[in-house]
Chain A
Amino acid sequence: MESLVIHGLNALLYSSVLFLIAGGLSLIYGVMRILNLAHGSLYAIGAYVTAWSIGAASAAGAPNALLFLLLPAGAVAAAAVGAALEPTLLRPFYRRPEEYQLLVTFGLLMIIEDCLHLIWGPNPLSAGKVYQLAGSVTIGTSRYPAYNLAVIAIGILSALALWAFIYRTRFGVVLRATSQNMRMALALGVNVNRIYIQAFTIGCLMAGLGGAIVVPGQSAVLGMGVEALVLAFVVVVIGGLGSLEGAFAGALIVGFLRETGIALFPEVELAVLYLIAAVVLLVRPAGLFGRA
């Protein structure tokens, strides 16, 4: 029973991070119809910037409370990179066939991966101090890291915030309108360029936040973005590309499957995930929540 609770919490932890990455990917696709292969790299930027700033602050002797405040630094950095990329590199590609869109984001992925290498070197970067400072809570007879609970809370809160933002604000209405019919929105006087840049920035902010909250628990390493991207693909394929509810459900499904897989059949754990994504596509081509 107790170990079940802990497995459940681990699954939720994993789902929270996955939702942040895949939700951003799905939001960007939903609004702009562009599949960003560099999305995982923005997650890596979030992880690196947070790890670096926490490391630098704690080396400079900053008070412990400040270290927690530095957590969102990675999210802000990823959002800034996103805001700079959309108008410069992606905008020329909306009218071109999607192979070019995929290729330009693939080139971006290569560039960002090596920039991280160039700036922070080949060694993993860790922000483990925050993880330790958060302490642990007791569940039954075993202890569970309190930081993990905070990550779960952040995941749930950001899902709620995003939902409220998209379904309960004026900006959200305009965003959804643009996503459903870009030309009509344009004709009705929506500044589509501005919507695109805002949507892309929010998507990148989410990916960066995912990286930022993951990094105290595990180090920032090269290649983390490439790995995360494929998992995010699995999530959006299961949930439906372009749907936030889908990303949420998909992240939960993948999170729990992965935790079960690691516990029961570690060798084929990843293979099973990819196969499930393929089966979902066969049965429901647009994903569980997608509109075809």
Chain B
Amino acid sequence: MPKNRPLLMVLAWLIPVAIALLAAPYVVGPFHTLTLMYGLVFGIGVLGFNLLLGYTGLLSFGHSAYFGAGAYTVAFMVKYFKIASMELFLAGSVLVSVVISLVFGIVCVRYTRIFFGILTLALSQVLWSLAFKFFWVTGGTDGLRVPTPSLLGMSPGTDKMEFLAFQYYYYVLAVFAVCVAVMWVIVHSPFGKALQAIRDNETRAEFIGIRIRRFRLIAFVVSGAFAGLAGALWAPLNGLATPDILVWTFSGEIVFMAVLGGFHNFIGPIVGAMAFTYLKTYAVGLTVYWQLALGTVLVVLVLALPKGIMGLVELIVARLRRPR
């Protein structure tokens, strides 16, 4: 057996997926390209979220705050500083979400389990209520418009659909690839292993000299930064930053995506974000009672398939491999 077999295995499915993603705008048309893009954007956010849930064992019910902070940062930069550069948007959003997640994180990481969840939820609603009430700054429920940005200094063409489905798609795809690579490095670094040690046994981790609270805080901030980056990418795509993305039920959707894909798996959150985006797009298109449909899916999912889609895939692969 060759020594680098695991690497070959990864490449065996990574290359086809990469080719499919690269070819998508020319093959599937603008509707699917846009849906795919929403999936990629949420994928970045949920990947960040899962650093907390899957790797550190902390369930945040407040990630809408960091995602929304990213999106609103873009809207503010457009409205008050007349900036149009996407690179500056990304930098600004990451900076703002890092600051907010640092402040919130200092409070939240003192707790674990259910209290951590409630506290992240309550703090995220501070941002929501501010966005909702200071309507002369934030546009209230109408939200703020986000026009098409310039990418790498090149101003967008006049056809918005063309811009979103081609230039912006590849831009998002590139950022997505970088984010996945960075997250891969993080979870496989000594830092990532320390987080998993904390998740599996807090006391033992402390005994071998891991400073639990500091590690949790760093994980929290990294997680918030990913969510903020996703929010920044989402804002031009959606064209509007509204308080809807700050309400705690959106945090619930983020948790939903992670569990749908399988939070014990590295790529589970990405798969979950894709699956959820398609599920929601079709459910919303099909019926006004899409919440009913998604809620039922969620309940059935946690009852029957708690390890999510990737858990199911692993099960099937294991079955196939078993010698007959």
A106's partner among B119, B129, B288, B298 (CB-CB below 8 A) is B298
Q: Give A23-47 interface residues, CB cut-off 8 Å to B.
A: 35, 37
Is there contact, CB below 8 Å, between A271 and B302? no
Which residue of the partner chain A has the closest CB to B260? A103
CA distance A108 to B259 in the complex (A): 16
Q: Give B29-49 interface residues, CB cut-off 8 Å to A.
A: none
A99's partner among B110, B259, B301 (CB-CB below 8 A) is B259
**B169 CB within 8 Å of chain A:** no
**A267 CB within 8 Å of chain B:** yes
Is there contact, CB below 8 Å, between A98 and B291? no
**A277 CB within 8 Å of chain B:** yes
Q: How far is the CB of B103 from chain A (nearest CB, A)?
A: 10
Q: How far is the CB of B93 from chain A (nearest CB, A)?
A: 21
Is there contact, CB below 8 Å, between A114 and B292? yes
A118's partner among B129, B289, B299 (CB-CB below 8 A) is B289
CA distance A93 to B259 in the complex (A): 15
CA distance A110 to B294 in the complex (A): 8
A117's partner among B125, B126, B289, B294 (CB-CB below 8 A) is B289
Is there contact, CB below 8 Å, between B298 and A285? no
**A270 CB within 8 Å of chain B:** yes
Chain B residues positioned under 8 Å from A99 (CB to CB): 53, 59, 255, 259
B292's partner among A118, A271, A285 (CB-CB below 8 A) is A118
Chain B residues positioned under 8 Å from A157 (CB to CB): none
Chain A residues positioned under 8 Å from B252 (CB to CB): 37, 106, 109
CA distance A106 to B107 in the complex (A): 24
Is there contact, CB below 8 Å, between B117 and A102? yes
**B156 CB within 8 Å of chain A:** no
A230's partner among B248, B292, B295 (CB-CB below 8 A) is B248
Question: Contact size class for B?
Answer: 35 or more
CA distance A113 to B249 in the complex (A): 12
Q: How far is the CB of A212 from chain B (nearest CB, A)?
A: 24
Chain A residues positioned under 8 Å from B121 (CB to CB): 230, 233
Q: Give B87-133 interface residues, CB cut-off 8 Å to A.
A: 107, 110-111, 113-115, 117-119, 121-123, 125-126, 129-130, 132-133
**B61 CB within 8 Å of chain A:** yes
Q: How far is the CB of A151 from chain B (nearest CB, A)?
A: 25
**A274 CB within 8 Å of chain B:** yes
Is there contact, CB below 8 Å, between B302 and A104? yes
**B207 CB within 8 Å of chain A:** no
Is there contact, CB below 8 Å, between A106 and B255? yes
Chain A residues positioned under 8 Å from B291 (CB to CB): 110-111, 113-114, 117
**B66 CB within 8 Å of chain A:** no
Q: Contact flags (1/0) for A95-130 with B, using CB distance below 8 Å?
A: 010111011101111110111011000000000000
Given A118-B289, A268-B133, A270-B133: A100 in contact with B302 (beta carbons within 8 A): yes
Is there contact, CB below 8 Å, between B114 and A35? yes
Is there contact, CB below 8 Å, between B306 and A281? no
Chain B residues positioned under 8 Å from A115 (CB to CB): 292
**B303 CB within 8 Å of chain A:** yes
**A146 CB within 8 Å of chain B:** no
**B26 CB within 8 Å of chain A:** no
- A sample of 26 inter-chain contacts (CB < 8 A) reads A35-B118, A37-B252, A99-B259, A100-B306, A102-B59, A104-B302, A106-B252, A107-B294, A107-B298, A107-B301, A109-B249, A111-B292, A111-B299, A113-B291, A114-B289, A117-B289, A226-B247, A267-B133, A267-B134, A268-B133, A269-B129, A271-B130, A278-B123, A281-B119, A282-B107, A285-B115
Q: Which are the 3 A-B pairs with shortest beta-carbon distances?
A: A110-B295, A107-B298, A270-B129
